[in-house]
Amino acid sequence: MTKRIIAFILALALMPVFNTKRADAAERMRGVWVCTVSNLDYPKSGTVNSAQLMKEADEILDNCKSLGFNAVFFQVRPAGDAFYKSNIFPYSQWLTGSQGTAPENGFDPLAYWVDGAHKRGMELHAWINPYRITTNGISLDSLAFNNPARLNKNYTIHYTNGNYYYNPAMPEVRQLVIDGVMEIVNNYDVDGIHMDDYFYPGSDIEDDADYAKYNTAFDNKDDWRRNNCDLLVKGIHDSLAGKNVAFGISPSGIWANKGNNPLGSDTRGFESYSSIFADTRKWALNGWIDYIAPQVYWQIGHNLADYETVTKWWADTLASSGTKLYIGIGEYRCDDADSDSVWYNGAEIRRQFEMNKTIPKVGGEINFRYGSIIKNEALKKILASFNGGAVPQEQIQPVTQAAQPVTSAPVKIEEPTVATTQAPVSVPTTQAQPSVPTISKDDIVVYLDNEMVIFDQKPIIENGRTLVPMRAIFEALGMEVEWNNAKRRITATDAEGTLIIMTIGDKVMTADGKIIEMDVPPKIVSSRTLVPLRAISEAYNCKVEWDGVNRIINITSQH
């Protein structure tokens, strides 16, 4: 009997240990972002009910596993808060419904998600937003009493969109972010720390005093700002040394345009290098991050930011680098896509997956986002097919639609006065335009970059917000506009890939996959759709100023 026991113990010792994480480091990344900001993916609504929070987590993790994902990027700090037990940041309002309120029964969401992912053989990466503090224009005094931004208001920047951000120039802020990272790594068995594309909120911040105080080595403010972001990324990298935790960043897809920087890509879109002062190329080439996952959310053939051009630029740039390259895929572009769209039923997503496999440096994808995938049957089949998931290959319908380039010419549309069930209507650009109403001293006048915007329906004020005709303001901003009669939905896009979606009567607007709550919803007045001017302008990264005496609105575009 003793010999049998000894033999059994020896057999156990010689058996390979099953790693519940992604077993093969060379395995292709098949990741998915799970968003908690504004309750996009988890939880469905804020609750202290631990049983409900566990149930929803299990459902998402089970679905991720069945679709063949091997890594979940779980948003644990959406806005200066926490989806875990923290001694630094308060519990998130999107977790329990009130910032600073803990779930019942001592439930720790991050611990549960880590354990659940590992049991299912998937990695769990803790996704943080380093600088964002508020959304929807709320004040610092409305935050939890123990929120470090409320306790240290001097750490913050009040940006032109009405929201607060931590000041990247301050050493104390960078240390706060690093301390938050290390708190996660030291207390949870996470596989990675992940940051997205939010660094400086924009170029129009008032930081002259900081520049005078902290700058010691730079001749211009732009280089100084980039160095501030460098210091944060390098600081996190150094702090994680020896922790066996991956550190990765998912920046906006374009580092720099070739027209502005000879090292950049042959594109003409939003560039992280000069717009938000994130030198993502430098971070990857210096080995400060283990992987980079640029958000290449444009289609193949886009005339200003072609998916193939951007992806191959990253692959060529990092060809000799040890930093891994994953591509951020934008499934959110398929949300409610019409049948004539390249994104319809995931057709463009499938083309992008097929292209990625032909580019050796591309080691996989991270998909944005869970909610956009799980509600789209066609997307689920495509993802499961490429990921080796549960949906059989024969269930996938062949995709034959060819990718079409986007043009920058605005699309003229005619808006109906009543709801219909017909397909989206477009009207030739030769259509006679209604006469412009006479402007009186009591009317609101709107200027965009010092040029008056002409409206065929006078702007109105409702609940303290100005609403203007949809077509005129979007086309003035250089955006293409589509109107869907059946869904009462407005879709606006520009050549840089910015996507704004609004629905009549709904206060929720989507801007590039991010939820923005408006004070007033779009509405139809005298056969014209009116939209809230400030919400649209700020979603498009414009500065809006109101001259109440002269009833003039001045908009300064950042594009």
Look at the pTM and tell me if it is higher than 0.85. no
Residues 451, 375 share a domain: no
- Quote the tokens at residue 127: 């996704």
**Which residue, of 380, 395, 410, is where some domain finishes?**
395
| Domain extent for 545 | 445-556
Residue 96 in any domain: the answer is: yes
- Closest to 244 (Cα-Cα) out of 179, 193, 320, 178: 193
Residues 478, 351 share a domain: no
Instruction: Specify the CATH number for the domain of residue 305.
Output: 3.20.20.80
**Which residue, of 378, 395, 412, is where some domain finishes?**
395
What dihedral angle (degrees, nearest 10) is formed by the CA atoms of 83, 79, 77, 30? 120
Please provide the DSSP assignment of 399-415 as one string: P-PPP-PPP-SPPP---
Residues 457, 363 share a domain: no
Q: What is the pLDDT of residue 411?
A: 33
Residue 400 in any domain: the answer is: no
Residues 454, 367 share a domain: no
Please provide the DSSP assignment of 23-57 as one string: S-TTSPEEEEEE--GGGSSS-SS----HHHHHHHH
Residue 12 in any domain: the answer is: no
Residues 486, 387 share a domain: no
Give Cα separations from 320 to 149, 287, 294 (angstroms): 41, 11, 18
H helices present in 418-495, as ranges: 470-476
- Cα–Cα–Cα angle for 110, 115, 117, rounded to 5 degrees: 95
Instruction: Specify the CATH number for the domain of residue 524.
Output: 3.30.457.10
Q: How many CB atoms sit inside 10 A of residue 547's CB?
A: 11
Question: Residue 316: what residue type?
Answer: D
Give Cα separations from 247 to 32, 51, 390 (angstroms): 16, 31, 30
Give Cα separations from 208 to 185, 216, 229, 302, 495 (angstroms): 35, 14, 17, 38, 33
**Which residue, of 395, 429, 454, is where some domain finishes?**
395
Residue 185 in any domain: the answer is: yes
- Closest to 142 (Cα-Cα) out of 173, 101, 98, 103: 98
- Domain count across the chain: 2
Residue 362 in any domain: the answer is: yes
Residues 266, 147 share a domain: yes
Residues 504, 379 share a domain: no
- Closest to 339 (Cα-Cα) out of 385, 396, 401: 401
Please give the distance of CA 556 from its chain centroid, rounded to a whole number. 23
CA distance 99 to 430: 53
- Closest to 233 (Cα-Cα) out of 191, 272, 190, 188: 272
Please give the distance of CA 167 from its chain centroid, rounded to a whole number. 20
Residue 319 in any domain: the answer is: yes
CA distance 422 to 217: 62
Q: What is the pLDDT of residue 26?
A: 66
Residues 479, 374 share a domain: no
Residues 355, 272 share a domain: yes
Residues 386, 473 share a domain: no
Q: How many CB atoms sit inside 10 A of residue 452's CB?
A: 12
Residues 227, 119 share a domain: yes
Q: What is the pLDDT of residue 440?
A: 55
Q: What is the DSSP letter of 363?
A: E
Mean pLDDT by 10 residues, the chain (559 residues): 44 37 69 96 97 98 97 97 98 97 97 98 98 92 97 95 94 98 98 94 93 96 98 98 97 95 94 95 98 96 94 98 97 92 96 97 98 96 88 38 37 33 33 45 76 81 83 84 81 81 87 80 83 82 74 76
Residues 209, 336 share a domain: yes
Residue 7 in any domain: the answer is: no
Residue 6 in any domain: the answer is: no
Q: What is the pLDDT of residue 388?
A: 86
